């Protein structure tokens, strides 16, 4: 409600007036601490197997924040994110084989091309809303996966497609020169993911973020408030596609070899389910989703449990989220912990009650 008015008039001033409270500082410290641990301690502590899966967590955190941005901030559901991811990986591989450009530049180019594709798809698709938008992205992703199965990924061949048709003597996709080893590449992936998260954070705390919230609440109200809804929706599409494309670029370097079978259209459905489970209204939700998608399977594999149980869990999870807990795990778990804490407090003595009820109100 407030955001609708914000985006047009007093938004900027209000934002400047908001002083960073102790909560903001604590949060910033926690994020920095976690990032430092991930960058420096984690590669040393984890085995090669888990460094690998943590690199994938970084990749999927980018995928999840991209989709979470669309679903949670703007209210657009895409069932074709894996196709965008595949395009990012394809462009990265093609450019890396064809040129000797530095890796970050290739990542940017991959992101720019998926951004162009996302905008091109988004332009006509934005006439549709809700369910129909979700279905058209599903259709386009399905069509794309068939094209991809025929063209294959570049593997050092010539021509536009760069596919040489053979499966022997394939050169691996190169990594950046500063991150050729697995632990170094893990750090690289985490750093890129952190940059993407910062990019999203910068958006949602400023004008576009407020416009998106207004659109999510009510599109007619947003239009009435003078928000250019088409532009901001396209902007969200472009930003999410950019991030997803960069994720594809990081994925290409992580695995060295790309196969179209690794990008099945049904993964888009699983991604949506897990992103909803993680929580779309908080950036932590994207990290939870990535852990569920990549670390949990690695753990289960380690323990000898079939990964099929995960698919079942994700299915149950999405039903649970949609019926009872719309903000997902990132919101539900802290709330439940707080409730548990309050229960413990209450059982230890009645004098805490005053403080507890005040906390409830806040």
Partner 1 sequence: MPSWQDFQPFIVTGLALGGVYALSGVGLVVLYRATGVVYLAFGAVGAMGALIAWSVTNAHVQAWVGWLACLLFSGAVTLGYGMLFGPALSKRDPLVKATATLGLLLVLFGLMDLLWTTSGGQSRAITLPTDNSGFIIGQIQVTWTQVIGLAAGFAITAVTGAFLRYTKLGTAMRAMANDREITATLGVPVRRVEAAAWLGCGLLAGLAGLLLADMVALDATTLTFLVISALAAALIGRLRSITLTLAAAIVIGLVQNLLVPIPSLSNYNDMTPFVLAATALLVLSRRHVIARSREET
State the number of CA atoms in the 13 A half-sphere of 182 facing the CB: 15
Binding of residue 224 to partner 1 (CB under 8 A): no
Task: State the minimum distance, in angstroms, from the CB of residue 148 to partner 1.
Answer: 11
* Cα(362)–Cα(360) distance, integer angstroms: 5
The nearest distance, CB 74 to partner 1, in angstroms, is 13
Residue with smaller CB distance to partner 1, 142 or 176: 142
| Contact between 87 and partner 1 per CB under 8 A | no
Distances from the Cα of 22 to the Cα of 26, 27, 30, 331, angstroms: 6, 9, 12, 20
Under rule CB under 8 A, residue 305 binds partner 1: no
Q: Please, which residue, 124 or 350, has the CB nearer to partner 1?
A: 124
Give residue for tokens 């590669």.
Answer: 43
From 159-167, 188-196, 262-270, 296-304, span contacting partner 1 (CB under 8 A): 262-270
CB 2, min distance to partner 1, A: 23
Contact 251, 93 (CB under 8 A): no
Binding window for partner 1 (CB under 8 A); candidates: 81-89, 102-110, 268-276, 353-361: 268-276
- Choose the stretch contacting partner 1; rule: CB under 8 A; options: 92-100, 144-152, 249-257, 347-355: 144-152
d(CA 71, CA 355): 36
Q: How far is CA 111 from CA 69, 105, 119, 276, in A?
A: 16, 10, 12, 24
Q: Does 343 bind partner 1 (CB under 8 A)?
A: no
Residue among 180, 173, 143 nearest 155 (CA): 173
Among 57, 70, 140, 240, binds partner 1 (CB under 8 A): 140
Q: Cα–Cα distance between 165 and 157 in angstroms, integer?
A: 8
Torsion of CA 247, 249, 253, 257, to 10 degrees: 100
Among 19, 303, 304, 308, binds partner 1 (CB under 8 A): 308
Task: Report residue 21 CA to chain centroid gap.
Answer: 28
The answer to whether residues 99 and 88 touch, using CB atoms and an 8 Å cutoff, is no
**Cα 17 vs. chain centroid, distance in angstroms?**
30
* Least Cβ distance, residue 166 to partner 1 (angstroms): 19
Nearest to partner 1 of 220, 350 (CB atom): 220
Among 7, 189, 318, 330, binds partner 1 (CB under 8 A): 318
Q: By the criterion CB under 8 A, which residues form the site for partner 1?
A: 77, 124-125, 127-132, 134-136, 138-140, 142-143, 146-147, 149-150, 264-266, 269-270, 272-273, 276, 306, 308-319, 322-323
């Amino acid at each position: 409600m407030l955001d609708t008015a914000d985006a047009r008039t007093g938004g900027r001033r209000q934002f400047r007036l908001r002083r960073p409270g102790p909560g903001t500082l604590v949060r910033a410290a926690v994020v920095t601490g976690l990032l430092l641990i991930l960058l420096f301690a984690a590669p040393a502590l984890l085995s090669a197997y888990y460094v690998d899966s943590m690199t994938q967590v970084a990749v999927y955190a980018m995928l999840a924040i991209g989709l979470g941005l669309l679903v949670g901030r703007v209210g657009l559901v895409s069932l074709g994110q894996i196709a965008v991811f595949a395009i990012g990986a394809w462009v990265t591989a093609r450019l890396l084989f064809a040129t000797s450009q530095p890796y970050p530049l290739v990542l940017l180019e991959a992101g720019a091309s998926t951004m162009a594709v996302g905008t091109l798809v988004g332009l006509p698709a934005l006439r549709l809303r809700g369910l129909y938008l979700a279905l058209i992205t599903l259709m386009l992703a399905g069509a794309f996966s068939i094209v991809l199965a025929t063209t294959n990924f570049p593997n050092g061949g010539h021509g536009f497609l760069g596919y040489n048709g053979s499966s022997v003597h394939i050169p691996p996709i190169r990594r950046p020169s500063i991150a050729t080893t697995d632990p170094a590449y893990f750090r690289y992936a985490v750093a890129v993911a952190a940059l993407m998260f910062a990019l999203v954070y910068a958006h949602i705390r400023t004008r576009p973020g407020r416009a998106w919230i207004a659109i999510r609440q009510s599109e007619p109200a947003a239009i009435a408030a003078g928000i250019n809804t088409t532009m901001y929706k396209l902007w969200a599409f472009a930003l999410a596609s950019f991030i997803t494309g960069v994720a594809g670029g990081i994925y290409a370097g992580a695995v060295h070899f790309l196969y179209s079978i690794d990008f099945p259209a049904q993964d888009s459905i699983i991604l949506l389910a897990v992103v909803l489970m993680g929580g779309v209204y908080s950036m932590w939700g994207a990290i939870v989703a990535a852990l569920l998608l990549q670390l949990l399977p690695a753990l289960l594999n380690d323990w000898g449990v079939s990964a099929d149980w995960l698919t079942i869990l994700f299915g149950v999870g999405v039903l649970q989220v949609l019926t009872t807990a719309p903000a997902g795990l990132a919101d539900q778990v802290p709330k439940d912990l707080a409730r548990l804490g309050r229960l413990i407090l209450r059982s230890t003595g009645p004098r805490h009650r005053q403080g507890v009820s005040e906390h409830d109100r806040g």
